[in-house]
Structure 1
Amino acid sequence: MQTVSSYGVEIRKQNIPIRQTLEIYRQAVSYLTEIYEQVWAELKMIPEAKKRFNAAEHLIHTTKKNHARFDFDIRFPKMPSYLRRAAIQHALGSVSSYESRMEQWEAAGELSGKPNFTCENHAMPVFYRDVMYREGTEGKDEAYLKLYDGHDWRWFRVCLSHTDMEYLRRNWYGKKASAPTLEKRHHKYFLRFSYTEEVMFTKTPVKEQIICSVDLGINTDAVCTIMRADGTVLGRKFIDFPSEKDRMYRTLGRIRRFQREHGSAQAGDRWAYTRRLNIELSRKIAGAVAEYAWENHADVIVFEYLEMNGKISGSKRQKLQLWRKRDIQKRCEHQAHRKGMRISRICAWNTSRLAYDGSGIVLRDWRKHSLCAFQTGKRYNCDLSASYNIGARYFIRELLKPLPATERSLLEAKVPAVKRRTSCVYADLRELSSEMGLLMAA
């Protein structure tokens, strides 16, 4: 399997015509989008994407053997060929998307929600190697870009962030990066490099697998449990970043007081800073989970399938809205795949509600929400109990799935709780493992 990783390197030298280049590129894309929308009836008759692209280029670019129908070369003289082709591809995609949405809207017969066609875009140019981008002297934090200075396309030397370049040299030395894409974030420009890796996933049989079951939470960021197929717990870890969360909640308090006095219209920068803190928190959580699983030689990282639909209400609605559960799983999935580990998800119903020992529904402590009381009177960490149940449900599913119907029915008769996956707990896995061992011995 191929995994693609990217990293943005900040451009330190700002007195170069990046804005002019970005402006003329977007003007070219807008102009091409308007042209191709006019002649789309002609272009859509060409089924092959490569031939359609060639026909689109012949409409706007004059060569010795072709006379262009439109005056693109006059409006945008000396535009590099690779940049022109990137603009053509972006414009074709925009028009094709609009036409498809329009056909679906007409087929549905809807009276409202008609798709709008717009030529405005936020396209970012790609600096193809040798013709648009050249690497600087080895060991130096520099590169050369071909930019538009308002009159002509010329080569400019740009300084790149030293820390970013050191990261690339340390982690991606010897690996070829794709053509960098210009990116703008927080009023700064970056060159985003992409790297493609070939990875091999582990093919360990289910009975020999080691998994890392993860319960993502709001109070505790993540609770991880290392588990074997027979229910043996090899390790547990509570991952929490209290200082980062405290900093974010402090900024939320400042925003609340500011909006009370001045309104919400002027709080955009404060909200942007809070979002950046929240994104950085999700990065740290995902990295810590993947690192812990890798240290314990886990084959699979198991998450809950978290889907929250509808309006969020209650005293913790702001925390739930800021909870980047899907982003954490996505980042952790990418890091796990780079190291050859797989990702799996199970149904989240009743993982925290039921005790891992099979005693039934737990009673949450209203003073300390992370603790709970079992029906037997035992007090335990609710998130840790949930992580046991998450790992158990994964193994119950994977152990029963490949079995023949007769063996599966026999095991379900001996352990009735495994018939309904949304009520399975850790104790059911222990019982199922014992029954499977007796069945194999017989």
Structure 2
Amino acid sequence: MVLVKSFSMSRKPAKKRTKRKKWQSASLIRTDVWSLSLTRHQRNLAILTVEEYRHFLKPLVLIAYWNWSALLGLTAKERVNTLEKLVHQTADNPNPKYGWYFKKAINNHPSFRKFPSYLRRAAIQDALGIVSSFVTRWQDWKRGNRKHRHDKSPKLTAFCNSYPALYKGQQIRYNANFNAVDLKVWNGKDWVWLLAIPVRSSGKSRHLGQDNKLMSPSLIANGRSVHLSMPVEIAIKELPESDWVCAVDLGINTTATCSIVSRDGTVKARKFISPARDIDRRDQRKQRIATKSKQTRKITKRNLPQGFCKGLYRKSKQINEHIAQVVSKAVIDFGIAHQVRVIVFEDLSNWKAKGGKHGSLQKQRFHQWCKDRIVELAIQKFSELGGNVVKVNAK
């Protein structure tokens, strides 16, 4: 009885608080999407290049996993060099440890003999990242850090949906105005250049910013589109000091209320942000889901099947994302217009709604409230401009 009593009175261990990301740094990396104008033949060559890269990546993932205990204590550069020596035969390395394994892969894919060396090193880095991610997720699963108690263990997927990184001058070249690029692709027999491919759009054109630096893009080619995922290293220039801050109050009825406040509490400007049309569109789709689910249960006398109204759920989620984008941009524009350096939000990350019955309209509105996403986007956008976002206790 004593054991039972002591066990029942014991408290549950407190959850570990996750460390917050430090968004402010000397530089940030943001990614733009460069849309390309390709013919059908050029599109097919780009898809063929991605398939060739993935076939070459598969044995590298397995070899990296087999030797992960030896690679774990090395630096990132040493890992790449070590894994390359395990598979690649040279005059200084005539008998690599897994040369026999790669010879079998070459027999199955003779095109590996022409695989470029710079793309090989990109594939090695990709394989190391895949294995490192799997090992981390596996260790977390063994420790019990799971979303659900009965979650299955993670699996190492050797044939991953990765895309090749293109090194400047080796597999991608830019013209003077960045309105066209040359790509080196695999045509089934050899690696050839596709010249002067027009760039239809370049996202937010971050590469044109002063002191910003282009990095190696990835070639994204599939049945839907072909584009370049272009990372840009942004040099941050801090905004000047100011005696005013932009205080933001996030709410249900009015999405955001922004106030420009001084040190002594004086308010010189205020703005109410509420994209009512988008909110109505989102709520209408949620109401349609509720009506359809009620009718379906009444007719079938069963639980809803998997994937029920997935189209409406997807549209509602996308509208919510659009609301967060619009509101966060409006907050940033309001702060920049009044030359503030700091934007203050309430810390509502661990807040949970207590009011409203299950399935009620009030409960649905709390569930759809995209407060965390608004703050996350505001942090990303304002830190890129050199500002700072601060969270304060809501109480």
Partner of 1:124: 163
Match of 1:87 among 82, 101, 123: 123
Q: Structure 1 regions of 5+ residues with no counterpart?
A: 350-442
| Deviation of 1:53 (Å) | 1.7
In the TM superposition, 1:19-418 aligns within 5 A as: 19-44=47-72, 47-67=74-94, 68=96, 69-70=98-99, 71-72=101-102, 74=106, 75=109, 76-102=112-138, 114-136=153-175, 138=177, 141-157=179-195, 159=197, 162=200, 164-165=201-202, 167-168=204-205, 172=209, 175-183=212-220, 187-202=224-239, 204=241, 209-254=243-288, 265=307, 267-308=309-350, 313=358, 314-349=360-395
Q: 1:180, 1:193 within 8 Å by CA — same for their partners in 2?
A: yes
**Structure 1 stretch displaced more, 331-340 or 283-292:** 331-340
Partner of 1:423: none
Give, in whole Å, the separation in 2 of the partners of 1:107 and 1:169: 41
Equivalent position SS for 1:316 = helix
Q: Structure 2 regions of 5+ residues with no counterpart?
A: 1-25, 297-303
Query: Deviation digits for residues 16-56 of structure 1, max 9, x if unmatched?
Result: 22322222322333321112222334434x53332222110
Query: Deviation digits for residues 249-284 of structure 1, max 9, x if unmatched?
Result: 344445556665696637444433433332222111
| Deviation of 1:80 (Å) | 2.4
Task: Return the TM-score normalized by structure 1.
Answer: 0.67
Measured on the aligned residues, the alpha-carbon RMSD in Å equals 3.5
| Deviation of 1:177 (Å) | 1.9
| Deviation of 1:333 (Å) | 1.6
Give, in whole Å, the separation in 1 of the partners of 2:379 and 2:57: 35
The amino acid of 1:280's aligned partner reads: H
CA separation of 1:185 and 1:340: change in aligned 2, threshold 3 A: farther
Query: Deviation digits for residues 304-351 of structure 1, max 9, x if unmatched?
Result: 1112477984433433333332222122122222333211101123xx
Number of equivalent positions: 343
The amino acid of 1:148's aligned partner reads: W
| Deviation of 1:194 (Å) | 2.4
The amino acid of 1:34's aligned partner reads: L
CA separation of 1:321 and 1:51: change in aligned 2, threshold 3 A: same
Give, in whole Å, the separation in 2 of the partners of 1:170 and 1:40: 37
**Structure 1 stretch displaced more, 335-344 or 193-202:** 193-202
Higher relative contact order (CA 8 A, sep 6+): 2
| Deviation of 1:237 (Å) | 0.4
Give, in whole Å, the separation in 1 of the partners of 2:176 and 2:386: 35
Task: Return the TM-score normalized by structure 2.
Answer: 0.74
Query: Deviation digits for residues 352-372 of structure 1, max 9, x if unmatched?
Result: xxxxxxxxxxxxxxxxxxxxx
Q: 2:247, 2:345 within 8 Å by CA — same for their partners in 1?
A: yes
Q: 2:27, 2:234 within 8 Å by CA — same for their partners in 1?
A: yes
Q: 1:9, 1:160 within 8 Å by CA — same for their partners in 2?
A: no
